[in-house]
Amino acid sequence: MGYTITEKILLRHTDKKAISAGEFIMAAVDLCLANDITAPFAIKEAERHGLKKVFDNKKIALIPDHFTPNKDINSANQCRMVKDFAKKYNIRHYYEVGRMGIEHALLPELGLIMPGNLVIGADSHTCTYGALGAFSSGVGSTDLAGIYLTGKVWLKVPESIKFIFRGKLKKWVGGKDLILHTIKNIGVEGANYKAMEFTGEVIKSLPMDDRFSMCNMAIEAGGKSGIIEPDEITLEYIRKVTSKKYLFLKSDSDASYSDVKEYDCSSLEPQVALPHLPSNVKPVSECKNINIDQAVIGSCTNGRISDLRAAAKIIKGNKVNSRVRLIVIPATQAIYLQALKEGLIEIFVKAGGVFSTPTCGPCLGGHMGILAKGERAISTTNRNFVGRMGHPESEVYLSNPAVAAASAIKGRIAHPGEVKG
């Protein structure tokens, strides 16, 4: 019996000659990461266990991106602890405000994630990096503390589910819609502790940014990871960000899967996840009577340059509805500068939106867009749980950037075709 790509990556990071799904292993980590919320817990735990030296100061990344720029004294103290830890242990990849970005967009952009890597992060959306053909998964801060000490992670080899996407995508439909449709189909527990392997002709023609979006939300179906076999599109991306050697792995034709799901995407329209689960998904055409108070375009899911371009294409020449706040957040400083060069910032601001420095901010109800009681937001973020973006009696609707932009103009959830045709 052959191996899946996930099993191949994990095997290469152990001293074993063979592994199988369900087996517990100790695996060497290529990169571990944490942010201003999760790193302090890991730091305290590691030092409580006698940390004198980290396993490798070049394999740890610290990115203050959640409550930053510091929103209050508590968040400032959290960030100071991370900064002091980075200085004390000479952490190579510490990214202060002004040089940082949302972690799951920043690290690939910097060329720190490579195909075949094993990446562990104290953040549930670490699964994003599977878009590059890496095994990446989120853990708790205590597990991260163990990695600081040993450089290894203890985990169970996950079974894999293969998701095959066929057909040709319609205009305004992309990776965000594919993953929302998938989560609708299998539910928020449909891939519990499984590696979600995305393939098919739709995936093979999907741009990298859309692949990042899909893998990013694997956790919303309970997935241990999301992963896409690297190909020419992956290679083109990697060559732009690094000259490091890479390892392209693929699943064997006789690899074992716990399930195989197939989707014909030809008739799929943009999708919207209604409150209060990412699985409560409907086509945008069935959501047109829902008024909104806020639209957020950004996050580790959809804050990349192609996302801003798609939104700006809708916004250009229009005005944001007077009842709506439009908040646009580029995922990194490089994306910010690219948006500036392309005139995208001017488009958003002239339309009546606000363009922010990179931050996770409103996604987790941190700052930069908190909802009041009874307010509704459409957002390109990844979660819409009760109180996720503010008051427990507010509502969050998830969509792709084009839908969010069209909704900001109309003042209600809208199909992009209503604005641009």
Residues 50 and 177 placed together within one structural domain of the fold: yes
How many independent structural domains does the chain possess?
2
Residues 147 and 223 placed together within one structural domain of the fold: yes
Band of pLDDT at residue 349, cut at 50, 70 and 90: very high
**Three-point CA angle 400, 401, 406, nearest 5°:** 105
**Three-point CA angle 124, 128, 133, nearest 5°:** 130
Residues 280 and 241 placed together within one structural domain of the fold: no
Closest CA to 208 of 195, 196, 193, 198: 198
pTM beyond 0.75: the answer is: yes
CA dist 169 → 165, 173, 201, 221, 309 (Å): 10, 6, 10, 22, 18
| The predicted structure's pLDDT at residue 260 | 98
Residues 304 and 361 placed together within one structural domain of the fold: yes
CB-side neighbour CA atoms (13 Å) of 143: 20
Residues 79 and 160 placed together within one structural domain of the fold: yes
Domain end, chosen from 243, 263, 283, is at 263
Strands 225-227 and 294-297, how do they pair? unpaired
C-alpha 225/C-alpha 114 separation (Å) is: 16
| The predicted structure's pLDDT at residue 2 | 94
Phi and psi dihedrals of 112, rounded to 5?
-90, -10
Average pLDDT, the chain: 96
- Per the structure, the complete domain to which residue 212 belongs is given by 5-263
Residues 300 and 322 placed together within one structural domain of the fold: yes
Residues 257 and 117 placed together within one structural domain of the fold: yes
Q: What is the mean pLDDT of residues 89-103?
A: 94
C-alpha 179/C-alpha 215 separation (Å) is: 8
Band of pLDDT at residue 246, cut at 50, 70 and 90: confident
Domain end, chosen from 263, 284, 301, is at 263
Band of pLDDT at residue 245, cut at 50, 70 and 90: confident
Instruction: Tell me the per-residue pLDDT of 106-125, one tens digit each, with 9 for 90 and over.
Output: 999 999 999 999 999 999 99
Domain end, chosen from 263, 291, 315, is at 263
Residues 353 and 246 placed together within one structural domain of the fold: no
Band of pLDDT at residue 1, cut at 50, 70 and 90: confident
Q: What is the mean pLDDT of residues 389-395?
A: 96
Q: How many helices (H) and strands (E) does the chain have?
A: 15, 18
